[in-house]
Structure 1
């Protein structure tokens, strides 16, 4: 029984390691050279993403099976709440449903098998099942927060590009179109979609409102509203962009200071519960065992 439990842990750990390795090898960084090549048409542009590796596609195909195999009545009861978590999460409704089923079943099962059907394992199975059911929400919230943070990081570069185009004599539409081509991910496809909407006849204000609906980031809203207000009142756009670029960099610096200040507190728990016990075992453990063997 113990050997089977150990094999189960080894198999699970190896599977997770292979999955993370495949996901890490599947993506490529979006460097400045690649953005220039996209502008020149040498690489796929907006909406043309490279496919995942074969192991990752196979994993997601297996993960999507529960949502496809369950009857519609059961599916509506189990996964109805997941629809509002799909947006900007990087997952589909089928993938979130598969994560819920897999985590909700496997976590309690691993707990019971690892603790050999002991009362402790049975007691832990219920909290682990609840955690597995809530896991899709946690993953979606984490990915959404990372997405918004990456948009905030891309805003200073985009504001600088707009500022350069405005100083070069372009109007707002031309500057916005040029910034959409050269902005970093994930802001580039959002701006490109707004540009397409304006080319198809939408007003600039409507296109900006649709952009903010797709990506409700306060800093992005401040930039777009400032541009519209400056053009409406006849203020120089270059001055508006210069002030915005300076303010957002100061705000980003303050946010980084807060993150750095919180880092010691976040490191305290692993230090106390993981590193400190391991250090005590490595330093005092051999001496304690030698003394224990001499006495007994």
Structure 2
């Protein structure tokens, strides 16, 4: 029997905790036998109060030392508080043997990294936390595009629902892909969903401290299909192209042309949620005269072709 120890703390995200426990419990039921023994633990063995419930646990840190697999559910986005309030856990994690499997869901990757368990290997976390992660842990090979990662017995998953992808992966790892597929079917989710980057917004959230740039972004939303160049955009702001580039990059993190391309592809994504119009018509409607250029940029930004994107969203 596989001993699965699931960590609980005041920072634990309720949905991540329940998702983990539900996935392994469902695997037991569908297998017709208890393949996975679930064990909830906290730092001191005391119950933990979360936003929506008080969680009873089965023991403290020492009680999880013999577990085959330790799972750290997501723990929110306040990383400073997360690391400051888990010093005992971090020291305990650092002592885990290489043979013990450790899995982090979403932001819990920061705990594995802070314990020095991800250095030199691949990892992932929620795409919105990627910059923070890289600044803190430059020795880790972070790929925020990935839904999950594995380095020997160290596993990570991306944001939110990617935790379920990792649970399915671990069920398949221990009990076979047939059971992982049955669990996925029962939960009405796809396995092998591709890259996390498919869910990342194409357009960055812009700063609001430059009124001219804010007004220009609104104008671009309405006129992105037109043929535009830097001189035209600078003229709208009554400034030089150099000033435009500086102000635009400060507000969005992108050049005006990069932002325009992302705006067009984002508009194309919306259009592709319908079976019509054709791909050529979509390309023209968002500002591309050449379908090949449109398809190349779409795949570059979205990780899949326009046709594959349309098939996927229409099959939901």
Per the TM superposition, whether the score is higher than 0.5 is no
Kindly indicate which of the two structures has a greater share of residues assigned to strand: 2
TM-score calculated relative to the size of structure 1: 0.29
More helix by share: 1
Structure number with bigger Rg: 1
